[in-house]
Each structure stands twice: as structure tokens, then as C-alpha cells.
Structure 1
Amino acid sequence: MEKKSNVDIGIGVNLMDVVEGQVLRLKSGQTGKITENMGDGQWVEMRFDGEDEPRLVHSQDIDALV
């Protein structure tokens, strides 16, 4: 019988409550600053050190508010 694992749906941070300027840590360990909250509870735009352009990040990729 195959062992089943839990599904991580990335609900550790309520994206309806985060605002521009706050820092989030991704599950990859990378941290970045929120530049825009789309207001849909699923997506935020973040800027990461060493990157020229901000990028969209989905809630499933977010680990915690730093």
C-alpha cells in the first residue's frame, strides 16, 4: 500500500491582511518585500534582493510573514 502525504495548500499567511512593505518568506527560503497586494487572497507582487523586477507570488509558495 502506498503511503499518502498531506497536501500543503499554503494557508499559513492570510494574504487579505498583508500590506505593501511587509516581508514574506517563501517555502524555498527566499525572502522578499510586498510591492502590491492584488486583494484576491491568492497573489501578491514581491521584490526580491538581486532581482530588477518584482514578480507575482502565489499563496501556495509562501511560508510565513517575517
Structure 2
Amino acid sequence: MPLWVPITLVAALFQTWRTALQQRLRGRLSVGTAGFVRYLYAVPVGLFLLLAFRAVSGA
């Protein structure tokens, strides 16, 4: 199985989780604040994925 298949499935899972979280937050916060929180949560995940990619690729 090519590597892109599991990566795509995991990305879809995270997208679904992020959308569900934002929908819950929109009931309590403004749209702008909910978007900010969504991106704030994405920073550690993005850094982890970058470090994992660099470790796997040897860069």
C-alpha cells in the first residue's frame, strides 16, 4: 500500500475531529473566536507532524 493512503485517511480523521470541535465551539463563541481556537489547536499538531516527517525523511 502506498504511504499516501494511510496519511490521507488520518488527515480525513483529523479534519472530521476539527470540524466537530469547531461546531461545538460556535455554539458558545463567536465565529471568529471559534476559528482562532481551531487554528490554535492546530499549531502543536502541525509541529508534531513536521517533526515526524523530518524524522522519517532524514532531513
Please give the range of the TM-score, normalised by the shorter of the 2 chains.
under 0.3
The one of the two structures with greater contact order (alpha-carbon pairs below 8 A, sep at least 6) is: 1
Structure number with higher strand proportion: 1
Query: Who wins on radius of gyration, i.e. which is larger?
Result: 2
Task: Compute the TM-score of the two structures, normalised by the length of structure 2.
Answer: 0.25
Task: Compute the TM-score of the two structures, normalised by the length of structure 1.
Answer: 0.24
Structure number with higher helix proportion: 2
